[in-house]
Amino acid sequence: MSWGFLRDLLSGVNEYSTGIGRIWLAIVFTFRLLVYVVAAEHVWKDEQKEFECNIRQPGCENVCFDHFFPVSQIRLWALQLIMVSTPSLLVVLHVAYRESREKRHKQKLYKNPGSMDGGLLCTYLISLIFKTGFEIGFLILFYKLYGGFSVPRLVKCDMRPCPNTVDCYISKPTEKKVFLYFVAVTSCLCILLNVSELICSGQIKEM
Amino acid sequence: MDWGSLQKVLGGVNKHSTSIGKIWLTVLFIFRVMILVVAAEKVWGDEQNDFVCNTLQPGCKNVCYDHFFPISHIRLWALQLIFVSTPALLVVMHIAHRRHEKKRELRHSEKVDVEELNKQKFHIQGPLWWTYSCSIFFRIVFEAVFMYVFYVMYDGYQMPRLLKCSAWPCPNTVDCFVSRPTEKTMFTIFMLSVSGICMLLNVAELCYLMIKFCMRVPKKPAILK
């Protein structure tokens, strides 16, 4: 039970997605989930162990690390992946509901339970709005918590019990910066795809 | 043997659950089990290693850690998830029992289509209604008990940055620093909120089942006429 579970869930969504939706799914799998699992997780693996402060005062490193990283960037990224993928399940649930309705009434109520019309189109649009909302929300959160997507090499810390202003060094700052920019770019790309899908689906509805 | 095996077992319950039950299962697996495995376990991964006390006295750190964290949050959550999922097994067992009975009945009369029998969905009525409702009731009780245990054991849900420890063999009152307290507090609040949402879903499902039961009962006198 891990990212494979999410991957299996989202594979089910693929069937009921539009063309742009499938591109979105491919980007999420390849450029976000896969990159996270095979690369990014290892970059942040020993973040606290390798966070070093120029002091021998016990507890100073712990407190400074907690001050500068209230929530680790890698955890935010994981939460973002989960929250951004979940709205697609609304579509799967709606299709399952349609299929169970057809079974219950024992007659064909819909042209095809998975066809994007009527209520299912509304559900799809709502899921797109939620996805876009979560993407933007997490980007803002990243920006607010870390003052952007860059990772400094050195931070100055004067929290108690550090006896004075102490230099603390973050491990692998450049590599982390590269991955965070990657997160930002893929998020923006996914937002663009969601917005274009919203516009296209809105036009289909009008027609 | 891991969370995947629990998912396989509970997947069987999903078919026979109400819509609220299906939503509960989805919330359980995505927002609790998955978050526990992919994120929370890593936050608590180095908890004892990075628990630092301002003393060189051997054993002091161990004793203080054990004093302040008798059971780690992660282990409590894992236990909570197992206990909360287990009542659904009552439903699984009841359905398996009914299938077995049906197979035995059909074996005497005609050829048994095992596959169709296994795919058959049982409606939540009669004795299955009681089993299902009991399972939801137990789920609610276990959720509440674990939330209370968390509150009592950790005196609230906030993880402090600094703990003062004077347990033996520490020579005096020693400052001990917890690793990643803010991140841990955030995850504790998150898991707590999702537990609360799951409890609400269970209560709603129980109310829905009771309403369904009450609506079915008045119909009986009409049938007798």
- Tokens of residue A136, six digits: 């933007």
Q: Is residue B103 less than 8 Å (CB to CB) from chain A? A: no
How many angstroms separate the CA atoms of A5 and B161, rounded?
A: 34
CB proximity list for B35: less than 8 A, separation 6 or greater: A79, A82, B187, B190, B191, B194
- Tokens of residue B168, six digits: 């033996």
How many angstroms separate the CA atoms of B7 and B15, rounded?
A: 13
pLDDT single digits (tens) B126-154: 888 889 999 999 999 999 999 999 988 88
Q: Is residue A11 less than 8 Å (CB to CB) from chain B? A: no
Backbone angles phi, psi at A184, to 5 degrees: -65, -45
Q: Is residue B216 less than 8 Å (CB to CB) from chain A? A: no
How many angstroms separate the CA atoms of A130 and A2, rounded?
A: 23
The answer to whether residue B116 scores a pLDDT higher than 70 is no
Q: Is B197 helix (H, G, I), strand (E, B) or coil?
A: helix
Q: Which residue of A has its CA nearest to B36?
A: A2
Contacts of A37 in chain B (CB under 8 A): none
pLDDT single digits (tens) A101-153: 887 777 776 666 666 677 888 888 899 999 999 999 999 999 999 988 888 98
Q: Is residue B20 less than 8 Å (CB to CB) from chain A? A: no
- How many angstroms away from the CA of A168 is the closest CA of chain B? 16
Backbone angles phi, psi at B56, to 5 degrees: -100, 0
B122: how many CB neighbours lie within 10 A of its CB? 15
How many angstroms separate the CA atoms of B31 and A86, rounded?
A: 10
- How many angstroms away from the CA of A99 is the closest CA of chain B? 13
| Banded model confidence at residue B224, pLDDT cuts 50, 70, 90 | very low
**pTM score of the predicted model:** 0.83
Q: Is A166 helix (H, G, I), strand (E, B) or coil?
A: strand
pLDDT single digits (tens) B55-78: 988 889 989 998 998 888 988 998
Interface test with A, best of B180, B187, B191 (most A CBs within 10 A): B180
Q: Is residue A68 less than 8 Å (CB to CB) from chain B? A: no
- How many angstroms away from the CA of B20 is the closest CA of chain A? 12
H/E run at residue B164: strand B162-165
pLDDT single digits (tens) A55-114: 999 999 999 999 999 999 999 999 999 999 889 888 888 888 888 788 777 777 666 666
